[in-house]
Chains A and B, each alone.
Chain A
Amino acid sequence: MKRNKHHLAALVPFLIIVVLFEILPLVMVVLRSFMPETGIGLTMTHYVHIFTTRLYQQAVLISVLPIFLTALVILLTMYVVILYLPGLEKYIRILCTIPYAIQGVILAVSVLALYSNAPGILSNRTLLLTGTYCVAILPYMYQGVQSSLLSVNAPRLIEAAQMLGAGRLYAFFRVVVPNILTGVVISAMLSASIIFGDFVIANTLGGNYFETAQIYLYQTLFESGQRTSAVIMVLFLVTLIISLIAFSLKKKERRLE
């Protein structure tokens, strides 16, 4: 016991160094984000600027819309696959896993090459970006939804509900979906943080059409160091909040199991 304590005591200085190494840059970025351009005093100007520009709304819209669309498509697909075409499940898995292997730039360039000259709404850049994000987050959404469905034994729950007088669709959305909601939300959170952190796809497809958070961050690098720090802090806090929510939901899910 005493020996163990000695070992731990010897580790303390190393731990302090590691913590300082991790925390110090963050503290410096926080301080810098509150500094005015003059370098004297503290100010909220940079944060006010971020939340009063269109960037905020655009980033939220571009991040949230693909998640909703993908979650809906995956849920409906899984409903059909589970109940009517269980043999297709392995093909759906392969299909949904393919985007893992495709790098963002290849995906974006391919989409651009295919649709840039397409007629009407098909070449709309917002739509292209939303659709590409749907493809990019497909593996994460699929894995989350599929493993949640497996853990609740969805086919058997639907059968149990049917025996009590429910229709299949009602049973799926009333019984199965509430039980996999935590898994769906966690996948959505993960997807949101991926989209929030993306620069390559947004820059290739969006370019000058609109600014997402990452593009805005890239542009501010050349304008103001203090504002860049503020953008980094916002992105960091959003990702942290998402991670904490996902973590607490996962804990709740484990408790329910």
Chain B
Amino acid sequence: MSYIDFQNINKSFGQNHVLRQINLSVEKGQLATLLGPSGCGKSTLLRCLAGLEEVSSGFMHVDGEDITHRDPRDRNIGMVFQQYSLFPNMTVKENIAFGLKLKKLPADLIETKVSHVIDLVDLKGKVREYPHALSGGQQQCVALARSLVMEPKVLLLDEPLSALDAKLRKSLQAEIKKIHIDTGITMIFVTHDQDEAMILSDVIHLFKDGQIEQSGSPTQLYTQPGTRYAAEFIGHYNVLDKKEFARMIGEGEPMEYGKLSAVFESAAKAGSSEMSVIVVRDNESVAIRPETIEILQEDSPAYRFAPAEDRYLLPAKVVDSTPHGNVLRYTLDVRGVRLHADILFRSFALYPEGHRLTLSVEKRNCLHL
């Protein structure tokens, strides 16, 4: 049995079935992320583990103990909320010491523990401040310290960085990562931001409509998305259905799987011995990562060395380009199919709208989902 085990968890709010047969495990010391869009059930699962919501059916185990119906205060689980939820009438120190005082620990022990976590989240000099006098990032650090000081078995973080600006979010991501390494505490992190999930997680569980769509390490999820949804959510993939893909590579319209026998029959009647068809199954898709698409130039190494049979050479026209930091994202038209290609932002890679160029896409980078 894993350190945290969810077994057949279902949760409904009236007619709304929010969690469906969730089976999920988290190992001790792991930082697991529940990733998905708003309303997919990831926060509900976290709240069920915290005891703030009752599950409709199923079981939850932490460290071998069944905690499914335990009161939140008896679970020894800490939680950090998106809106900090600090107690406004208490100072930083009082906020952090709140739980320890409830445990009726001796004053000197409380002092020692509080000082330790204040050092850990780097809040020295702020202990006498009230929450309203702190920045958003500092408030979230207090919330983190307030949970950590209780030395919980599991720390739950419910979109803790969503309310912060981009720069602060990046710095707190590093802070959380550092705390995780320093303390070795098991953490479950909820977010809808795939980049954040990639940076922080040991393992990502991707949610869709109350179910787990795919689980795996960040690299696994990024390079081997199992479904169209995973590809679209995780990596800004170009997801094409088979008809679009066939049109893009210039192999004509593919056949529906069910119509194949009719094609064979008519070919036999016509006495044809050779035929070339692309067969599609229902809902099949092809996913191509934007950064694997190369724009070929005269002296491009790919043009010289990549064997022609391992790649598609595609004629394209520039529709649009948008800078994303150090990457320029081109929207390209390839035989009527729209593709996104990410190219490093360099002066020789700048092409105006309407410019015609050739793309190289390696076949192994076209993932059939």
A153 and B77 within 8 A (CB): no
A153 and B85 within 8 A (CB): yes
A162 and B72 within 8 A (CB): yes
Interface centre among B50, B73, B79 (most CB of A within 10 A): B73
Q: Which of B46-105 contact A (CB under 8 A)?
A: 50-52, 72-73, 77-79, 81, 83, 85-89, 98-99, 102-103
Would you give the shortest CB distance from A247 to chain B, in whole angstroms? Answer: 20
Q: Is the C-beta of A198 less than 8 angstroms from some C-beta in chain B? A: no
Provided the pairs A256-B88, A256-B132 are in contact, do residues A160 and B52 lie with their beta carbons within 8 angstroms?
no
CA of A213 to CA of B52 in the docked complex: distance in angstroms?
A: 51
A163's partner among B79, B86, B87 (CB-CB below 8 A) is B79
Q: Is the C-beta of B130 less than 8 angstroms from some C-beta in chain A? A: yes
A178 and B50 within 8 A (CB): no
CA of A35 to CA of B243 in the docked complex: distance in angstroms?
A: 102
CA of A152 to CA of B150 in the docked complex: distance in angstroms?
A: 24
A153 and B83 within 8 A (CB): yes
B102 and A157 within 8 A (CB): no
Provided the pairs A159-B52, A256-B130 are in contact, do residues A164 and B85 lie with their beta carbons within 8 angstroms?
no
Q: Is the C-beta of A167 less than 8 angstroms from some C-beta in chain B? A: yes
Would you give the shortest CB distance from B320 to chain A, in whole angstroms? Answer: 42
Return chain B residues, CB-CB under 8 Å to A257: 132
Provided the pairs A164-B102, A165-B99, A256-B132 are in contact, do residues A159 and B85 lie with their beta carbons within 8 angstroms?
yes
Q: Is the C-beta of B238 less than 8 angstroms from some C-beta in chain A? A: no
Q: Is the C-beta of B146 less than 8 angstroms from some C-beta in chain A? A: yes
Q: Is the C-beta of B186 less than 8 angstroms from some C-beta in chain A? A: no
Q: Is the C-beta of B147 less than 8 angstroms from some C-beta in chain A? A: yes
Provided the pairs A161-B98, A165-B73 are in contact, do residues A156 and B85 lie with their beta carbons within 8 angstroms?
yes
Would you give the shortest CB distance from B90 to chain A, in whole angstroms? Answer: 8
Return chain A residues, CB-CB under 8 Å to B86: 160
Provided the pairs A153-B83, A256-B132, A257-B132 are in contact, do residues A163 and B89 lie with their beta carbons within 8 angstroms?
no
CA of A256 to CA of B52 in the docked complex: distance in angstroms?
A: 28
A164 and B150 within 8 A (CB): yes
B88 and A179 within 8 A (CB): yes
Q: Is the C-beta of A232 less than 8 angstroms from some C-beta in chain B? A: no
Q: Which of A114-150 contact B (CB under 8 A)?
A: none
Would you give the shortest CB distance from B163 to chain A, in whole angstroms? Answer: 13
Q: Which of A157-194 contact B (CB under 8 A)?
A: 157, 159-167, 175, 178-179
B73 and A160 within 8 A (CB): no
What is the interface size of chain B, counting residues whose CB is below 8 A from a CB of the partner? Answer: 25
B89's partner among A159, A160, A166, A179 (CB-CB below 8 A) is A179
Return chain A residues, CB-CB under 8 Å to B103: 165
CA of A166 to CA of B150 in the docked complex: distance in angstroms?
A: 13
Would you give the shortest CB distance from B272 to chain A, in whole angstroms? Answer: 69
B150's partner among A162, A165, A178 (CB-CB below 8 A) is A165
Would you give the shortest CB distance from A166 to chain B, in whole angstroms? Answer: 6
Provided the pairs A156-B81, A156-B83, A256-B132 are in contact, do residues A162 and B73 lie with their beta carbons within 8 angstroms?
yes
Among residues of B, the one whose C-beta sits closest to the C-beta of A164 is B99
Return chain A residues, CB-CB under 8 Å to B85: 153, 156-157, 159-160
Interface centre among A161, A164, A179 (most CB of B within 10 A): A164
Among residues of B, the one whose C-beta sits closest to the C-beta of A157 is B85
CA of A162 to CA of B87 in the docked complex: distance in angstroms?
A: 12
CA of A56 to CA of B90 in the docked complex: distance in angstroms?
A: 39
CA of A111 to CA of B52 in the docked complex: distance in angstroms?
A: 44
CA of A162 to CA of B102 in the docked complex: distance in angstroms?
A: 11
CA of A166 to CA of B85 in the docked complex: distance in angstroms?
A: 14
CA of A161 to CA of B81 in the docked complex: distance in angstroms?
A: 12
Interface string of A237-257 (1 = CB under 8 A from B): 000000000000000000011
Among residues of B, the one whose C-beta sits closest to the C-beta of A175 is B87
A164 and B98 within 8 A (CB): yes
CA of A111 to CA of B240 in the docked complex: distance in angstroms?
A: 74
CA of A159 to CA of B82 in the docked complex: distance in angstroms?
A: 13
A159's partner among B78, B81, B99, B132 (CB-CB below 8 A) is B81
Among residues of B, the one whose C-beta sits closest to the C-beta of A160 is B85
CA of A48 to CA of B88 in the docked complex: distance in angstroms?
A: 45
B132 and A162 within 8 A (CB): no
CA of A153 to CA of B131 in the docked complex: distance in angstroms?
A: 15
Would you give the shortest CB distance from B256 to chain A, in whole angstroms? Answer: 50
Q: Which of A62-105 contact B (CB under 8 A)?
A: none
CA of A8 to CA of B337 in the docked complex: distance in angstroms?
A: 70
B77 and A165 within 8 A (CB): no
CA of A179 to CA of B83 in the docked complex: distance in angstroms?
A: 16
Return chain A residues, CB-CB under 8 Å to B51: 162
Would you give the shortest CB distance from B199 to chain A, in whole angstroms? Answer: 25
Return chain B residues, CB-CB under 8 Å to A256: 88, 130, 132
Return chain A residues, CB-CB under 8 Å to B132: 256-257
CA of A232 to CA of B73 in the docked complex: distance in angstroms?
A: 56
Return chain A residues, CB-CB under 8 Å to B102: 164-166
A-side residues, CB < 8 A to B, are: 152-153, 156-157, 159-167, 175, 178-179, 256-257
Question: Which 6 pairs of residues, A with B, have the shortest CB-CB distance?
Answer: A164-B99, A160-B85, A165-B102, A163-B79, A165-B73, A162-B72
| 16 A–B pairs (Cβ distance < 8 Å), ordered by A | A153-B85, A157-B85, A160-B81, A160-B86, A160-B87, A162-B51, A163-B52, A163-B72, A163-B78, A163-B147, A164-B147, A165-B73, A165-B150, A166-B102, A179-B89, A257-B132
